[in-house]
Structure 1
Amino acid sequence: MPDQAAAPGRPGVIHDLGYRHFDGVREGTATIARTLFVTGLRHAYGLGRSGKSKVMPFVLLAMSLLPAAIVVGVVVLTGLGSLPVSYADYTNQTQLLISLFAASQAPVLFSRDLRHRSIVLYLARPLSSPVFALMRWLSLTVAMFVFTAVPTVLLFAGAMLAGLDKSDQASAVLKALTLQVLLAAMLAGVSGLISSVSLRRGFAVVGSVMALIVLTGVVTVIQNIAYYDGDSESVSVGVGLLSPWSLHNGLGNAWDAGIDTPAPVDGAWVPAYAIVALLLVAGCLLGLVARFRKVGSR
């Protein structure tokens, strides 16, 4: 065998190994990003994966739908003049299930590729780190929105079957869906960022649970203590800026969407809540981009 190292000036050679040539159209970044988004959305519900991967998301979704189905049955059969729970408040009442869905499915989209080092293949040209991070976040955001919107649509269908006022119900459901879009973006950002930092699924789940469930509980306790025991409305409202769920509930209260908070959110607090929610989403996205850019440069 000739010593190839002895001929540093030898030109490169392309060998025809007999594989079939590709003569089709080479798609660009947009097609890759769209495929990545669809694949991520499917994987969030275990579609296209093993059977056990479908258990957690669909069990949580069924548990979220069950109370809505019961409410619809009661309203239709008894002829109530209104829903016993508002659309936005139903989302708040099922926040444990929604947070568990985010905590359990975020590692599927963010931790697995990092753990198995397949991220290097994704970030090969022409896909960039910002596009990858954005598509993964968008997949989880849409999955979260679907998770919250399906029970809401079921409640709305029940309200229509019961003959409730169409204009009032349409206005209420649009408010709830708008709030759900913002909530999904926040939860996907927080859980996605945590999962991108932790390569172990278990650690990622625990971290997301701490951020979405435990922190929300602490914020709620402080809000109630500050308002009812400390007689401080401003402290109660201000603490609500520290959690995605309290931001959602505060904006729902300010928008008259049927969510009660310890202290009413009004005045200058309303734009403050909206700005903090948007900054939280933007900060998580920047963190995801920085994380994947760092990994892709290795």
Structure 2
Amino acid sequence: MPTPEPRTAPGGVIHDIGYQRYEGPRLGRRHIVGALYLHSLRTAFGFGRSAKSKIFPWLIMGTVGVIAVVLTAIRVQTGVMPLRYEQFPETLSILIIFFCAAVAPELVSRDLQNGVLPLYFARPLERSDYASAKLAALVTATFLLLAVPLTVMFAGAAFSADNLSGVWREFGDYLPAVLYAALHAVVFSSVSVLVAALVKRRAVAAAAVVAAFLVTTPVAGVLLVLPYETTAQLSGLVNPASLVSGVGAWLFDPSGEVVGVGDWGPLYGVVSVGLVAACVALLFARYRKVARS
């Protein structure tokens, strides 16, 4: 009877499917932060997301744009500006709040809810880098919401001016208003991102952002009507929106004809800076805690 041949284990085969080692430049942390910022800015306006995500931000932007066009048309036809440049951000402050309430949860709450932060926090991206990129994106989006309509208003006024000195005078009114819009963007965005970073559910986060601005409004109203001049002048300090308005009153209405803050204007400026610094510090602390959890 023939002896059976011993079985041999099947041999392995290595297939070359074309994978190669990456030998290009490694861009590093700065480029990662920049990419995250650009992605977040696109997200703020709904780019790259579903049509549903675009409705509310673009509805607010469209409303602000229509208001700016109507004001420009009135200025061109009558020669009278119904609303001064610096009054534009204050008048639309409620729309700014709703815009931040819609965008901030999309930027930070979604990542918390989906549990993707460990992917972001892989090297070399730092926790503070992530928070800074998200905050910078909302600041930029909010600033564009205000600066673009202001520029439309300035362009209409400049083209209707009689001479170059009139254009220069318009620019002198326009530039401080743009800086004032930047202050709105920084303060409103800092508060909104911090509040949204504390809540995972986007709907709840949006409601919390609105509440952060509106819950102290009655308190400021009560302080304003008290029969004490100092209390009325300091009433704006308790609410983020009225705090920024107080800075505007200090810078654009030092006589106190419209909204009086008395001699407390510098205090409004200091408190505004302190509020932004506190929000940023708490935001960084929040993401250090998330990283450990």
Could you say which TM-score interval applies, normalised by the shorter chain? Answer: 0.7 to 0.9
Out of 249, 266, 269, which is 1:271 matched to?
266
User: Does the 8 Å contact 1:45/1:54 carry over to 2?
Assistant: yes
The AA in structure 2 aligned to 1:294 is K
Matching residue of 2:37: 37
Which residues of 2 match residues 3-22 of structure 1 at below 5 A? 19-22=19-22
Matching residue of 1:189: 190
Shift of 1:93: 1.0
Shift of 1:20: 3.4
DSSP 3-state at the match of 1:85: coil
Stretch of structure 1 that moved more, 247-256 or 160-169: 160-169
> In structure 1, how many angstroms separate the alpha carbons of the residues matched to 2:154 and 2:230?
35
Matching residue of 2:249: 253
> In structure 1, how many angstroms separate the alpha carbons of the residues matched to 2:235 and 2:32?
42
Shift of 1:96: 1.3
The AA in structure 1 aligned to 2:289 is K
> In structure 1, how many angstroms separate the alpha carbons of the residues matched to 2:101 and 2:256?
26
User: Does the 8 Å contact 1:252/1:259 carry over to 2?
Assistant: no
Residues 1:258 and 1:70: Cα distance change in structure 2 (over 3 Å): farther
1:46-100 CA deviation, whole Å, 9 max, x = no partner?
011112111111110001111211111122123x2x3111112111111111110
Q: Does 1:287 align with 2:282?
A: yes
Residues 1:105 and 1:202: Cα distance change in structure 2 (over 3 Å): same
User: Does the 8 Å contact 2:105/2:206 carry over to 1?
Assistant: yes
> In structure 2, how many angstroms separate the alpha carbons of the residues matched to 1:96 and 1:195?
18
> In structure 1, how many angstroms separate the alpha carbons of the residues matched to 2:102 and 2:256?
28
User: Does the 8 Å contact 1:96/1:213 carry over to 2?
Assistant: no
Shift of 1:179: 1.4
Which residues of 2 match residues 12-91 of structure 1 at below 5 A? 19-78=19-78, 80=79, 82-91=80-89
> In structure 1, how many angstroms separate the alpha carbons of the residues matched to 2:265 and 2:82?
26
DSSP 3-state at the match of 2:103: helix
The AA in structure 1 aligned to 2:244 is H
Q: Does 1:238 align with 2:229?
A: no
User: Does the 8 Å contact 2:249/2:259 carry over to 1?
Assistant: no
> In structure 1, how many angstroms separate the alpha carbons of the residues matched to 2:58 and 2:212?
23
Residues 1:257 and 1:36: Cα distance change in structure 2 (over 3 Å): farther
DSSP 3-state at the match of 2:86: helix
TM-score, normalised by the number of residues in structure 2: 0.88
User: Does the 8 Å contact 1:183/1:244 carry over to 2?
Assistant: no
Structure 1 segments of 4+ aligned residues over 4 angstroms from their partners: 257-263
Shift of 1:169: 1.9
DSSP 3-state at the match of 1:49: coil
User: Does the 8 Å contact 2:233/2:262 carry over to 1?
Assistant: no
DSSP 3-state at the match of 1:264: coil
Count of aligned positions: 275
Q: Which runs of 5+ in 2 are unaligned?
A: 1-15
Residues 1:258 and 1:92: Cα distance change in structure 2 (over 3 Å): farther
Shift of 1:245: 1.4
> In structure 2, how many angstroms separate the alpha carbons of the residues matched to 1:37 and 1:243?
29
> In structure 1, how many angstroms separate the alpha carbons of the residues matched to 2:257 and 2:238?
14
1:80-132 CA deviation, whole Å, 9 max, x = no partner?
2x311111211111111111000110001110111111111001111111111
Shift of 1:265: 2.2
Q: Which runs of 5+ in 1 are unaligned?
A: 1-15
- Report the aligned-residue RMSD: 2.1
TM-score, normalised by the number of residues in structure 1: 0.86
Shift of 1:218: 1.9
Identical columns (%): 32
> In structure 2, how many angstroms separate the alpha carbons of the residues matched to 1:43 and 1:259?
42
Q: Does 1:133 align with 2:128?
A: no
> In structure 2, how many angstroms separate the alpha carbons of the residues matched to 1:19 and 1:259?
72
> In structure 2, how many angstroms separate the alpha carbons of the residues matched to 1:293 and 1:266?
41
Residues 1:206 and 1:126: Cα distance change in structure 2 (over 3 Å): same
> In structure 2, how many angstroms separate the alpha carbons of the residues matched to 1:222 and 1:171?
36
> In structure 2, how many angstroms separate the alpha carbons of the residues matched to 1:277 and 1:102?
18
Shift of 1:296: 1.3
